[in-house]
Structure 1
Amino acid sequence: MRRLGLGLLVVALAAAGALAAIAFGQGDIVPIKISATVKVTPNKAGTPRHPQGVRIDARANISIPDDYDPPLVQTVDIWFPKAGNYNGGKFPTCGEAAMAHHGVSVCPKGSIMGHGRAKARADTVFTYPKITVVNGGATKVYFYVVLQVPARVAQPVAADISKLSGNPRWGYRLHAKIPRNLQIVAGIPLRYDSMHLLVGRGDWIATTSCPRDHRWRYHAEAAFDTGQVVKYDGSVGCRS
């Protein structure tokens, strides 16, 4: 079973949006305001012998000054602690090629792990991308994104999960490359304003412990086309 922290659900699911909100332009770092609320049900941690499956409700709001061009995220990496199990290998999976050609309608019902929606702007036109979280197996998860404005785009975003053997703090690393056609649509860079995701089914993600400070911690880095790498450390409250 793959050990994950709940930071995966706060950061990875908002990778193309919330992390992209820390912009770089006109030679300066843009002053950005980001707020997020996360509800974990239940927030009482399980144990190694009795892991506790959880469901996550995450909301994020992003404020970017209009006089800066939105940044373009190239990759997102997330490091998470040894505080839970990722059980992707136990559930049905759906392949990237199948989704790319036919959408999530061809995926087994048991492979769908969550849904979400974002609010974004293409110049002055609002668009509302829909997100489906799909199980990809023991080392992969997909975020299938569909938007209709300013042009229709339907694209699975693959995230690879790798074990970090011997690392004293982090158990696993998640790496995702953001497709170009989800950065610029019809020649217009997307500016994300908000995102809401509801994720989790059974013990697909299950907790096994809560640290003494009652915080599940994670570290994330986003690399932009400007050459800037933005780093972020966050946490989610828990109880034993």
Structure 2
Amino acid sequence: MFRVGVAVLIATALLGIAALAFGQDVVPIKVTAVVKVTPNKAGTPSHPQGVHVDVRAKIDIPHDYDPPLVQSVTIWTSKAGVYNGAKFPTCSFRAMEHSGLRTCPARSIMGHATVKADADGVNSYPKVTIVNGGAHYIYFYVVLSTPARVQQPIAATITKLTSGPWQYRLDFKVPRNLQIVAGIPLRAEAFHATFGREDWIASTYCPPDHKWRWHAEGRYSSGQVVPANGTIACRS
């Protein structure tokens, strides 16, 4: 779908799932993240460079607040690369709903993530598998066992844009049964994801300021739209 920005897009999307994206305008939240892209030397349009991404994040949310829950997330990436989902095997959303990941081709699995979350004082460790969905989709298959067993794929739609400063837009909605589990809201505290296979995500350009950019917006049950922006260092 995009370049390293694609990488950041996926990472940000996962962070939204993991944190259940509580609104920063209502609750004082501190999120710190370290994103490593290998290699960070950009490819070219004629020779795209496949990348692998490692994301580590911490989310500090005061426990004396009752924050709103995220309803959906939209992420934009800059014109610096390419998403090659159409080149790789896919796994269907319906198959994952009925049989989990058992029927997914091995080469459709593009990465994994682990979340450390608080469920009313009890630690919960949701696990996310990143699955290729072809030219227009990426799937996040979420499994958690505390405070109750939940297995749920999330579909993220990828749209290639034809105008403006961004190359791709990713949109997804967070299912209610992953926002509140057994009546308990999940509060993510830490997050680690690694993803990328061959040239599934590939960089094609490093801007003059040596920064890959992305922009994200979370929409919350309170009606808020909370923006976020970020960069990753690159070299030509």
Alignment pair present for 1:197 and 2:197: no
Aligned residues: 234
Asked whether the 8 Å contact 1:77–1:175 carries over to 2, the reply is yes
Distance 1:214 1:67 in 2: 41
SS at match of 1:155: strand
Tell me how far 1:16 sits from its aligned partner. 1.4
| Aligned-CA RMSD value | 1.3
The one-letter code of the counterpart of 1:103 is: G
Please name the residue that 1:46 is paired with. Answer: 43
Alignment pair present for 1:130 and 2:127: yes
Distance 1:137 1:124 in 2: 39
Please name the residue that 1:71 is paired with. Answer: 68
Q: For 1:41-76, what per-residue CA distance to the aligned partner results, in whole angstroms no more than 9, with x for missing partners? A: 111110111100000000110000110124311000
Tell me how far 1:9 sits from its aligned partner. 3.4
Alignment pair present for 1:30 and 2:16: no
The one-letter code of the counterpart of 2:222 is: T
State the percentage of identical aligned residues. Answer: 60
Please name the residue that 2:210 is paired with. Answer: 214
Please name the residue that 2:224 is paired with. Answer: 228
Alignment pair present for 1:3 and 2:19: no
Q: For 1:108-129, what per-residue CA distance to the aligned partner results, in whole angstroms no more than 9, with x for missing partners? A: 0010000110011111111000
Asked whether the 8 Å contact 1:34–1:61 carries over to 2, the reply is yes
Asked whether the 8 Å contact 1:21–1:62 carries over to 2, the reply is no
Tell me how far 1:10 sits from its aligned partner. 3.1
Deviates more, 1:62-71 or 1:195-204: 62-71
Asked whether the 8 Å contact 1:56–1:198 carries over to 2, the reply is yes
Written as runs of structure 1 = structure 2, the 5 A alignment for 1:65-144 is 65-144=62-141
Tell me how far 1:8 sits from its aligned partner. 1.0
Distance 1:13 1:46 in 2: 25
What TM-score, normalized to structure 1? 0.94
What TM-score, normalized to structure 2? 0.96
Distance 2:20 2:210 in 1: 24
SS at match of 1:12: helix
From 147, 158, 182, the counterpart of 1:186:
182
Please name the residue that 1:12 is paired with. Answer: 13
**CA distance change for structure 1 residues 152 and 23 in 2, over 3 Å: closer, same or farther?**
farther
Unaligned stretches of 5+ residues in structure 1:
none
Please name the residue that 1:153 is paired with. Answer: 150
Q: Which runs of 4+ in 1 moved over 2 A?
A: 21-24
Tell me how far 1:23 sits from its aligned partner. 4.3
Asked whether the 8 Å contact 2:91–2:105 carries over to 1, the reply is yes
Please name the residue that 1:177 is paired with. Answer: 173
Please name the residue that 1:166 is paired with. Answer: 163
Asked whether the 8 Å contact 2:22–2:220 carries over to 1, the reply is no
Unaligned stretches of 5+ residues in structure 2:
none
The one-letter code of the counterpart of 1:149 is: T
Tell me how far 1:12 sits from its aligned partner. 1.8
Distance 1:105 1:140 in 2: 19
Distance 2:216 2:142 in 1: 21
Asked whether the 8 Å contact 1:30–1:68 carries over to 2, the reply is yes
Asked whether the 8 Å contact 2:210–2:233 carries over to 1, the reply is yes
Asked whether the 8 Å contact 2:72–2:220 carries over to 1, the reply is yes
